[in-house]
Amino acid sequence: MSVGILGKKIGMTQIFNEKGYAIPATLLEVGPCTITQIKQTQKNTKIQIGYEYTQPNKLNKPIIGHFEVNKLPCFKYLKEYRSNQWKELSLGQIINVSQLNKNDYINISGISIGKGFSGYQKRHHFQRGPMSHGSKNHRQPGSIGAGTTPGRVFPGKKMAGRMGNKKVSIKNISILNIDIQNNTIIIKGSVPGKKGNIIYIHQK
């Protein structure tokens, strides 16, 4: 079935394969998650899952009432997925890494690391100017638009600004290993965010 699950990024390491090549890998702590709501609409069915238990005094009253109606413990993080195979799921069902298939690819989404206010070269990979003594254009942006016509800068112009701290999705990531006892998986490559960030895993 279509699996949607939450987890945390533990860190990066490297694994050596049979030929002796070093493969960059990321260690993720995935689940267990609990289905907290199944909402049916005309187009599809939305499945809400909860991750990481928390105390009721750290949540507001509407969220606490949402858990009390369904007779479920309180969760710190909630995520909603769309699924057409809702008949295989039930309220309060626990989803863990055992439902991930090692032979299939997964999609991972997360919030990338914020870089703060960055310049043109760092943010958009602009080429710099000559670094010789006579040059007055080392890391300047250059021209940003036309003159009299149209007499303005078009929206979306690549300029300096905030970099990072955005949702980034990486598709078709291969799973190297699954540890069901410790609820961890090892994937090939990197995932967005720093250590401890919440990530969203989806597998078709």
Check residue 117 and give its pLDDT: 96
Q: Mapping DSSP to helix (H, G, I), strand (E, B) and coil, where does residue 123 land?
A: helix
179 and 94 part of one domain: yes
Alpha carbons 28 and 45: distance in angstroms, whole number: 28
Task: Name the domain count of the chain.
Answer: 2
Q: What is the extent of the structural domain holding 124?
A: 117-163
CATH of the domain at 192: 2.40.30.10
H-helix segments, the chain: 61-69, 120-124
30 and 123 part of one domain: no
Tens-level pLDDT at each residue, the chain (204 residues): 466 889 999 999 999 988 889 999 999 998 788 888 888 877 778 888 888 888 888 888 888 888 888 888 888 888 888 877 667 777 888 888 888 888 888 899 999 999 999 999 999 999 988 999 998 888 888 888 888 888 888 998 999 999 999 999 999 988 888 888 888 899 998 899 889 899 998 876
Check residue 125 and give its pLDDT: 92
92 and 132 part of one domain: no
What would the pLDDT profile of 119-129 be if each residue is shown by its tens digit? Answer: 999 999 999 88
184 and 148 part of one domain: no
19 and 102 part of one domain: yes
Check residue 63 and give its pLDDT: 86
